[in-house]
Amino acid sequence: MPKRTLKQKMETRINRRKGDVVLRADFADLGDYDQVGRVLRILVKEEILVKLGQGIYAKAKRSALTGELVPQGGIIQATREALTKLGVKVLPSSLERSYNADSSTQVPTGRLIGTNKRVRRVIRYGSVQMSFEHITTR
């Protein structure tokens, strides 16, 4: 039986994963940093994954509306999942809280995400860049 390549092992792990987001660190046990990076670039080129930020990738699908490649579940859901995997607690933003408290009628877009700690990462796909708001909990 032929030995499986790193790409085959990574594809198997991606397909078995329940969530839509994978981190480069998820493959650290399969190969070294550069090898994993090369395979991730190949998977992006083959349209299996889309890159959202440094070391953050999401499973890809074709949009039914535009035909473009987009993250499965959307950029907002993928960002929330990525932050959770990185150990950041996701909270309602101030815009979501004011809307839910009926003090604002403006519906939040979801592009501003509340977090329990400061986030300096850039997470984006296409022209949509996510913003983060540090929420202090008392």
pLDDT in tens, 65-122: 988 999 999 999 999 999 999 999 999 888 888 887 888 777 777 889 999 999 999 9
Task: Report the pLDDT value the prediction gives residue 59, as an integer from 0 to 100.
Answer: 97
This prediction has a pTM of: 0.89
Range of the domain at 116: 6-134
Residue 63 counted as domain residue = yes
Residue 124 counted as domain residue = yes
Task: Report the pLDDT value the prediction gives residue 138, as an integer from 0 to 100.
Answer: 62
Are 49 and 40 within 8 A, CB to CB? Answer: yes
Are 87 and 126 within 8 A, CB to CB? Answer: no
Residue 107 host element (H or E): none
* Cα gap 137→117, rounded to integer Å: 10
Are 135 and 91 within 8 A, CB to CB? Answer: yes
How do residues 18-48 score in pLDDT, each as one tens digit?
999 999 999 999 999 999 999 999 999 999 9
Residue 111 counted as domain residue = yes
Residue 1 counted as domain residue = no
Q: What angle do CA 90, 76, 81 make, to 5 degrees?
A: 50
Instruction: Provide the domain count of the chain.
Output: 1
